[in-house]
Amino acid sequence: MPPPPAFTRYASQKINPVSIGQLLKYRRQPLSKENILDSISYTQAELPVRLAKRVISFHRLPFIVGTNPHIARVYNQYYEAFDRLHAFAPINDLEPEWDFTRALERQTQILADVIPTIAQGFLECQLYMPREERTAFINDLIRSRIGLRVIGEQHVALSYQFREEQRKAKLAQDSDQSVRTNTSPHSREDVWVGAIHTRLLPARMMEQCGQMVQSMCEMHYGTAPSYYVDGDVDETISYIPSHFEYITCELLKNALRATVDFSSSTNRSSHPPIQITITKGDGYVGVRIRDQGGGISKENMRNIFEYSWSSMQTDSSDEHSSAAGTSPTGSSMMAGMSMQTNLALQQGVGGPIAGLGFGLPMARLYAGYFGGSLDIVSMEGYGCDVFLKLRSIEGSVEDRQI
């Protein structure tokens, strides 16, 4: 069935990439009403085009794939998201801007489970589409979803920031006292530009993520390796904290899990600690995560960045499991739970530590989004070195568009 004309019309428009400079252009504070209307004007024009392009991309899938209930569900979510935002008349005042902002927030919640749903759908459709095409579709979907979220969340954050500043200014006016006199040198106003933290401390983030992943590991295995952070621990980066957290938690989960498994299979009396080293580069921060979790075999190295590929096995009755202990994740999920539940749980303490085969490919997409990279070097029989390079968003003002 062809897509409705409104979608074709919007989807035929060119994406207007947001530049990093644009994301940071409201650095000077306080924010003004003009700033907010300027931001909403870009957001309102851009998001429907991007959503429409996604909807059209579903129409290009083989018919049988499009009828899969999980894939059809995601299609409908994008369709409805487009409809919701498209329904707004051009915005030139703060009241409708606030309504649109709230709609954006709701939309983020609704689209939250797109990835696990689509993963489940493609798992069921493996026979109907070549692997490269599936991977390309998932990559495009995830990349475009990151873009939609960055643009949407940036506006939502700016809108809240604006209202917060207004509220404080009013309070200060009421008490006849300047707001700025009470703020610390690194107050929210100084370090945040919308959703971007301009002085994020990677060492501190790694400490926090390490604690969270340790708790997950404890819950899953009853034991967890220790870790330490060294190198340029005072280095800061301009980045979106939730992206940083997502990438590094995935990498740490892998490192801790491998360490515990290897200790168990080699009867090691204690777990060697995970070493997390921060390095300062020119416009980027490097993070090396070094574990002694036995490494990855040459054969498995070919698969680790494939969607749905995992060496985790939780269902031993699975007929597809290979002797090497590797399997497609359809068979390796926590028994009795759907992939959606697993991926949702995966983000919180107490969720499964591995098993979906989405951690590495998604972490690499997130890292690459702002021009960074993710590489793994394995010493089979010993451990892995994971190299993460994240470009400071601020450092790349001139050259990147998203």
The footprint of Mg ion (CB under 5 A) covers: 254, 354, 359
Assess 355 for contact with ligand ATP (CB under 6 A): yes
Residue 384 binding target from ligand ATP, Mg ion, none, CB below 5 to 8 Å by type = ligand ATP
356 binds, among Mg ion, ligand ATP, none (CB under 5 to 8 A by kind): ligand ATP
Q: Which of 77, 277, 292, 346 touches ligand ATP (CB under 6 A)?
A: 346
Q: Which of 46, 97, 189, 291 binds ligand ATP (CB under 6 A)?
A: 291
Closest approach of Mg ion to the CB of residue 147, in Å = 24
- Does an H or E element contain 278, and which? strand 274-280
Nearer to ligand ATP, 22 or 331 (CB): 331
Which of these, 70, 296, 28, 337, lies nearest to 162 by C-alpha position? Answer: 28
- Tokens (6 digits) for 319: 């007929």
Q: Return all residues near 173 (Cβ < 8 A) that are at least 6 apart.
A: none
**Residue of 225, 286, 328, 359 that binds ligand ATP (CB under 6 A):** 359
Which one of residues 203, 224, 296, 388 is an interface residue with ligand ATP (CB under 6 A)?
A: 296
Six-digit token pair at 256? 């801790």
Q: Which of residues 136-155 bind ligand ATP (CB under 6 A)?
A: none
- Element spanning 327, H or E: strand 327-328
Under rule CB under 6 A, residue 123 binds ligand ATP: no
Contact (CB, 8 A) for 371 and 238: no
Toward ligand ATP, which CB reaches closer, 80 or 380? 380
Site for ligand ATP in 84-113 (CB under 6 A): none
Which listed residue (254, 263, 277, 292) binds ligand ATP by CB under 6 A? 254
Which among 351, 345, 364 is positioned nearest to 307, based on CA atoms? 364
Interaction between residue 250 and ligand ATP (CB under 6 A):
yes
Q: What is the DSSP string of 202-251?
A: HHHHHHHHHHHHHHHHHHHHS----EEEEESTT--EEE-HHHHHHHHHHH
CB of 218 to ligand ATP, least distance (A): 17
Helix/strand/coil percentages in the chain, nearest 5: 55, 15, 35
CB 312 within 8 A of CB 274: no
Q: What angle do CA 256, 261, 267 make, to 5 degrees?
A: 125
Residue 93 exposed, middle or buried by CB count within 10 Å (0-12, 13-18, 19+) = exposed
Q: Which is nearer to Mg ion, 88 or 387 (CB)?
A: 387
With CB atoms as reference, the residue minimizing the distance to ligand ATP is: 359
310 lines the binding site for ligand ATP (CB under 6 A): yes
Binding mask 258-287 for ligand ATP (x = CB under 6 A): x-----------------------------
Instruction: Decide: 340 and 113 in contact? Cβ < 8 Å.
Output: yes
Q: How far is the CB of 257 from Mg ion (least distance, A)?
A: 7
Residue 312 touches ligand ATP, criterion: CB under 6 A: yes
Site for ligand ATP (CB under 6 A): how many residues? 21
**DSSP of 100-118, one letter per residue?**
HHHHHHHHHHHGGGHHHHH
Least Å distance between CB 129 and ligand ATP?
20
Output DSSP code: residue 385: E
Query: Would you count residue 356 as binding ligand ATP (CB under 6 A)?
Result: yes
Q: How far is CA 232 from CA 48, 150, 276, 287, in A?
A: 42, 28, 11, 10
Question: Residues in the site for ligand ATP, rule: CB under 6 A?
Answer: 250, 253-255, 258, 291, 293, 296, 304, 310-312, 346, 354-360, 384
